[in-house]
Chains A and B, each alone.
Chain A
Amino acid sequence: MSNDQQNILDEVTSQEYKYGFYTDLEMDIFPKGLNEDTIRALSAKKNEPPFMLEFRLNAYRKWLTMKEPDWAHLKYPSIDYQDIIYYAAPKKKPELESLDQVDPELIETFNKLGISLDEQKRLTGVAVDAVIDSVSVKTTFQETLAKHGIIFCSFSEAVQNHPDLVEKYMATVVPPDDNYFAALNSAVFSDGSFCFIPKGVRCPLELSTYFRINAANTGQFERTLIIAEEGSYVSYLEGCTAPARSENQLHAAIVEIIAMKDAEVKYSTVQNWYPGNKNGEGGVYNFVTKRGICKGNNSKISWTQVETGSAITWKYPSVILQGDNSIGEFYSVAVTNNHQQADTGTKMIHIGKNTRSTIISKGISAGKSNNSYRGLVKVIKRAVNARNFTQCDSLLLGDKCGAHTFPYIHNENSSSIIEHEATTSKISEDQLFYCKQRGIDTENAIALIVNGYAKEVLKHLPMEFAVEAQKLLAVSLEGSVG
């Protein structure tokens, strides 16, 4: 084992959720509750064009007719949607010319999180869009990106500055009536990131959005839209944290990705919402709809996710493989500990010819948690020569947790090849013995083995994220040995 890895393990095995602090910011908050007036007020506050208000109200009316899904392998008390604050934003000056104008408390917050908003201090080129509670506070490196014609800004700015693009693409991948949480999000989303890569441009920086829930009793509803024009490439990172609170908080986001001909989008998430304490109190309810469409031929969308946070995770990043020869990938590590519950997986919808998809999912459950993989591979009649490979493994640490696999395979085409394999097992005694014999204590040995187990997925993460993810894995599993 290298020294680096040892340092990481040493550092992390002695800590709990370190992002659980709360920043006292001056906030602009709507009263609790949701009705058409809330939506009108929200839309007015954001100075949105009429089509946005129309869109929101339609979504809200749809939402009212829908039922909260109950098919997931999750147990949680019912959510009172009137007991949530639908808009909370740090008070700020209308226009931010430079970093000096950002609330110093806020900069401090992000520094604590290890996210520097100061461009000069960055070593590697990562452009960050920081979203706190309901609004985006700062997007870095905008000028550099603008030189390439790339638009990377908060969703609100995009609505103001590029309403044509927003109107053209928004909700084309996830329609407002797609599901209960998507409808809710479409009605009340407050901000998010918007990213447009023009034809033939290879984005020189990693684009990153950092989400933070700060205020109490707030729901976070953000919306991300990524459009990759013909022949373009972008790698996109998303991170998220929340303060440790004893009550649950709702997060219902939408991510839409559109990849045109020959375009490639790589979307990586390290999800680290507050998972609740050891007794299962508090934590974020995470109900997210993420979907990408490979619209053009030879396009590619790749999802990589490391899930360590949230009390409840309900999330199925999907790819619609519409273009011929398009590729969809899904790499996931989901860790649950204590009382966390995760029901996560992916959907690969094969429509075009010669489409390929790969699914690698690694679930790790510890404590009293439940971790489910739920996935769909669908091949329609005209998807000639479709190819799918799915591997979903589960690792069980302890005899009070659960690991479940619910794959769905639907095939209508005789030329397709679909393979699914899954295993569930615990950490091998032999491996543990080997480590312990060499003086590595049980906890570190488990962290080591788990990291090895997850490596297949972690290697798909950008370097900085991979390091963070490795640390997270160890923290999340801390105290699970017993």
Chain B
Amino acid sequence: MDVILTEYSFKDKMVELFHETVQKNFNNDNPYLKQLRKEAIQEFEKVGFPSNKQEKWRNTNLSKPLKLEYVHHFEPFEQITDVGQLFMCEVHELESHLFAQLNGWFVHQNGGINHLPGGVIVGSLASAFVQFPEIIEKYYGKFAPYQNNGLVALNTAFAQDGLFVYVPDNVVVDKPVQIINLINLTENLFIQPRNLIILGRNSKLQLLYCDHSLLHKHSLINSVTEVFIDENAEFENYKLQNKDNDSTLITNVWITQKSNSNMLTNVLTLNPGTIRNNINILLDGRNCNAELYGLYLLDKEQHVDNNVLVDHAKPDNYSNQLFKGILDDHATGVFNGLVMVRKDAQKTNAFQKNQNILLTDKATIDSNPQLEIYADDVKCSHGSTVGQLDNEAMFYMRSRGISEEVARMALMNAFASAIIDKIRIEPLRNRINEMVSKRLRGELSICDQCILNCRDERKISFDIDLSGIR
């Protein structure tokens, strides 16, 4: 069933929509899910959408995207048979387990659940709801608290599909798992993907998540991702956000780490419309390692808001945040980072850095690196800089006959490389490097790394014949 969401009160409409459709759409849920949805919608009704009056949302205004009309789909779109062929990524040398989501729905192969070597399960969350109720009940909804969080509550109430990954104990997933999240529809779309990723003990997973839009329509995405990393496991999460200017993307990521686990997340925002990344890390064990990186390259009216919380709940943990941005034209960037060191979380090492370059006087940056510390035996530091390209470095290159443009590029590339170098998958790193260079030259369009090479005049939907694809 498709429902048109009109602007006047998005919140009331969503609550109404839930009650109207709960019987029809969510009737097959098991009791645990049913209860969860019920509680979540009640919470959403109480809390609503975040407004600019809230401290954490001062700089990202949702009122504009919430005024538009959207369509909400309760059933999957027509399926495509050969995902691997269709979504061949341009990162040619990258060997990956490739999956796709279309308009928020997992593109099914093999009945929605894929078994990779070692008992690894990758598939659709909708299928997992049915096939693995015991895993769902143990993990789903346990890490992303919807209390006082309207967006998570709304997602929890409506969530139907998304990515489900289960890596059993002692399994190292041989190749990166790659998810392409495509938006392709001729109408304004509101979608709420929900992802659940579970890493067992001593396991390892590299996940590459790409957000793309194919058509220039307004879309509003409110995604929630829950990640559980058990003892001694290792998780790498690369996120590539290459959207069009009319899209609003809100990602809510909740990662819980147990003792001796390692986590790396790298968010590369190359072309956002409006993006808000909420990244929440809970270090719920000892000797955990959490590394968070982010790069945002913005121009025009683009807006990125990275909101990071690293919660040191237990002693002996290490966390490092490094977010860098280059802002051109009227772009606005926000970094809101909070390191929380709980009482008795002694021997904590936490670092936090945000660096920005403004290229015009019309771009704006808000940087709020924050520390909240309740333990004494800690080493915490944060830093934030806003500036320009280094004049001396510029002079050095100019005096050696390098043109201003080339020198500028070199310096900007160097600035960005601090983040790109943290990518541990080599082909991906090389590709991103290229893309960033292209982006900095202003040559990268959103379609660039997509094999479909669609243009406005040649719109593609997925039931077309595939002969036109290289």
Contacts and interface: CB of A to CB of B under 8 A. Distances in A.
A401 interface: yes
Contacts of A409: 365-368, 384, 386
Interface stretch (B135-143, B147-155, B353-361): B353-361
Given A381-B361, A399-B375, A420 B387 contact: no
A403 B373 contact: yes
23 contacts: A71-B55, A394-B371, A399-B343, A399-B344, A399-B377, A402-B373, A403-B373, A404-B373, A405-B369, A407-B369, A411-B364, A411-B365, A411-B366, A414-B361, A416-B358, A417-B386, A420-B369, A421-B382, A423-B381, A424-B381, A425-B378, A426-B376, A426-B377
B114 interface: no
A422 B376 contact: no
Given A409-B386, A413-B358, A416-B386, A421 B374 contact: no
Interface of A: 71, 73, 381, 394, 396-426
Interface majority SS (helix, strand, loop, mixed), chain B: strand
A400 B343 contact: yes
A394 B386 CA distance: 23
B119 to A, nearest CB: 44
The list of the 6 closest CB pairs from A to B, nearest first, reads A396-B376, A414-B358, A409-B367, A420-B384, A424-B380, A418-B386
B6 interface: no
Nearest to B351: A423
B415 to A, nearest CB: 14
Interface majority SS (helix, strand, loop, mixed), chain A: strand
Interface in B233-273: none
B127 interface: no
A421 B381 contact: yes
B361 A407 contact: no
B427 interface: no
A418 B373 contact: no
Contacts of B371: 394, 403-405, 422, 424
A298 B344 CA distance: 49
Contacts of A423: 379-381
Contact of A408 (B363, B368, B374, B377): B368
A247 B381 CA distance: 38
B318 to A, nearest CB: 15
Contacts of B365: 409-411
Interface in B102-116: none
Contacts of B219: none
A408 B354 CA distance: 12
B84 interface: no
B385 interface: yes
B346 interface: yes
Nearest to A396: B376
B55 A401 contact: no
Contact of B382 (A414, A422, A425, A426): A422
B388 interface: yes
Contacts of A426: 376-378
A480 to B, nearest CB: 11
Contacts of B361: 381, 412-415
Most buried by A among B363, B366, B384: B384
Contact of B383 (A394, A420, A425): A420
A421 B369 CA distance: 10
B382 A418 contact: no
B346 A406 contact: no
A401 B378 CA distance: 12
Given A409-B365, A426-B377, 14 more contacts: A381-B362, A401-B376, A403-B371, A408-B367, A410-B366, A413-B358, A414-B359, A417-B387, A420-B369, A420-B384, A421-B381, A424-B379, A424-B381, A425-B380
A408 B380 CA distance: 18
A399 B346 contact: yes
Contact of B376 (A397, A406, A413): A397
